[in-house]
Amino acid sequence: MTRAIAIALFLILAAGSALAVDPSERLADPALEARARALGSELRCLVCQNQSIDDSNADLAHDLRVLIRERLMAGDTDPQVLQFMVRRYGDFILLRPPVKPATYLLWYGPFGVLVLGAIGVVIHLHRRAGRVVPAPMPLSVEEQRRLKTLAAEDGSQ
């Protein structure tokens, strides 16, 4: 019984990633289909933006999957397909864009924000530690008399 449940769960989870690729899109050649799936997992869905085109159900993702398969059938290599897509849609289509001056902010921006935040905290703590807290002013004779009166009234109640 447990084995049947485990198999059923495996099939459900395995089918989840294949739901986006329509059976009509699949290539007859298993090697080409494997290459198409690998390429599809490297490209971003321009509609969803947080999914690969292989995982997305968007119409544009479907069109891009078909385009990849057409390029592979035409004899393009994997790098040629990726170059074609980048020329057409820019580096944004890559889930892992290359490190180059145009993408430095994307790659190093989070680290820069972290460094700037740490510098800000250090400056704040340094300024806070450098502050001298003035000693309180001594009470005047009138204030001392008033304090004794209030203390006596409070103690008598």
> What CATH number has the domain bearing residue 72?
1.10.8.640
84 contacts 76 by C-beta, under 8 angstroms: yes
Which residues on adjacent β-strands are paired with residue 52? 44
**5 within domain boundaries:** no
Residues 35 and 66 in one domain: yes
Residues 88 and 132 in one domain: no
Say yes or no to pLDDT of 61 above 60.
yes
Q: Is 44 helix (H, G, I), strand (E, B) or coil?
A: strand
Residue 85 has a pLDDT of: 93
Total domains in the chain come to 2
Residues 21 and 90 in one domain: yes
Residues 146 and 94 in one domain: no
Residues 89 and 24 in one domain: yes
Residue 65 has a pLDDT of: 92
**150 within domain boundaries:** yes
Residues 57 and 87 in one domain: yes
Say yes or no to pLDDT of 64 above 60.
yes
DSSP code of residue 131: P
Residues 112 and 50 in one domain: no
Mean per-residue pLDDT, 37-50: 88
Confidence bin at 15 (pLDDT 50/70/90): very low
**81 within domain boundaries:** yes
Please identify, among 53, 80, 98, the residue that sits at the C-terminal boundary of a domain: 98
Residue 33 has a pLDDT of: 87
66 contacts 58 by C-beta, under 8 angstroms: no
| Whole-number average pLDDT of the chain | 83
Say yes or no to pLDDT of 48 above 70.
yes
Q: In which residue are the tokens 């490190």 written?
A: 99
Q: Which domain holds residue 127?
A: 102-156
For 138-148, how does the pLDDT look when each residue is reduced to its tens digit (9 = 90+)? Answer: 999 999 999 99
Which of 19-28, 62-71, 97-106 is predicted least confidently?
19-28
Please identify, among 56, 80, 98, the residue that sits at the C-terminal boundary of a domain: 98
Residue 17 has a pLDDT of: 44
Pick the more confident residue, 33 or 25.
33
